[in-house]
Amino acid sequence: MPGTEVTETVKKQRWGEAHYRQAVIVLAVLLALSVLSALCLGRYSISIPEILRVIFGKFFPIEKTWKAGVETVIFQVRLPRIFAGFLVGAGLALSGASLQAMFRNPLVSSQILGVASGAGFGAAVAILLFESIIITQLSSFAFGLLAVFLTWSMSRRRRQTPVILLVLSGIVVGSLFSSMTSMAKYLADPLNKMPAIVFWLLGSLNHVSVKELLVLAPVMILSGGILIAVRWRINILTMGDESAKALGVNTEQLKRIVIICSTLLTASAVCMCGIVGWIGLVIPHIGRLIAGPDNKRLMPVCVLTGGAFMIAVDTIARTATATEIPLGVLTSVIGAPIFASLLMKKESGW
């Protein structure tokens, strides 16, 4: 009966909404737990009651019963690092989900357009020629943008941007900048410059400061906010250019928005912590298992999942051993098995 079918459809939609709300609540709780763990754990362990007293005492006049260095550790070291980890994880996951939808390919990551390779080369050159972290970050950001500009320029054909040409151009540009990065490492001093280049390329949040966050955080928040605002239009891109145009969507303009915002997110993330792989590829797949392929639900889930994942990985990186483990190593060790298990599950298909 038609009425029965409509009723079943409504029930499925309501169950889906309830499932999505529950998933968001669970992810928010996991994010809060990862933040709390990152505040407590480290070379200088701090208890939860002491953390609450210090944070409360920052805004209200109460008697200081904690040690002198605790406030500095929380507000100058751990909180900026936690916020940076959230921005990097959420930004890379959001960028990966957007590009996967635009390219209609679940194997696309946030580095497909060559931005990470370009940013890595910019950082390597700056480390080779200068000794300033600010110059290194500026050079990384600039070369990341340059790489995507070259990719976009190579793929343009008669005011159109075919997806396949965009992918191939990104591969070419990424390979070019990767080879130039290898040349920079070959020319570097093996005692001083070479270890600095290698460690930076492997990824770390140990140099993040409040000043750096004040510059990069607005760029990442604005770019991510734009992608979330147009996520329902990105759904239409998954239908193909012809179908999207038939529905009245300006596909070229929407592609430019997705590429620009994804590039700014990825370049800012690389500028902040170096090259961190697998997040832009794995987190969107996990998000689809939780929220389905609809980008209206998927992208907020990716933000929560990516942020919690990155904070947890960074906490492991700085507490598991006496010396800090590079983030790129841990994300590869954790991300590769997760992605392999997702590939073997039927539910993870596009």
Domain extent for 196 = 2-348
Q: Give the residue among 127, 309, 134 at the shortest CA–CA distance from 207.
A: 134
Q: Are 266 and 115 in contact (CB under 8 A)?
A: yes
pLDDT digit string (tens) for the chain, length 350 residues: 444 544 554 445 555 778 889 999 999 999 999 999 999 998 888 888 888 888 888 777 777 777 778 888 888 889 999 999 999 999 999 999 999 998 888 888 878 888 999 999 999 999 999 888 889 989 999 999 999 999 988 887 766 667 778 888 889 999 999 999 999 999 998 888 898 898 888 889 988 888 889 989 999 999 999 999 999 888 888 777 777 777 777 888 888 899 999 999 999 999 998 888 889 989 999 999 898 888 999 999 999 999 999 999 999 999 988 888 999 899 989 888 888 887 777 544 44
Q: What was the pLDDT predicted at 109?
A: 82
CB-based contacts of 18: which residues, under 8 Å, 6+ apart?
A: none
Q: What was the pLDDT predicted at 13?
A: 55
* CATH number of the domain encompassing residue 195: 1.10.3470.10
**Location of structure tokens 């357009």:** 113
Structural domains counted in the chain: 1
Q: Are 95 and 276 in contact (CB under 8 A)?
A: no
DSSP state of 71: H
Q: What was the pLDDT predicted at 283?
A: 93
Q: What was the pLDDT predicted at 346?
A: 52
Q: What was the pLDDT predicted at 350?
A: 47
Give phi and psi for 110, each to the nearest 5: -70, -10
- The dihedral built from the CA positions of residue 35, 89, 258 and 292, taken in this order, carries a sign that is negative
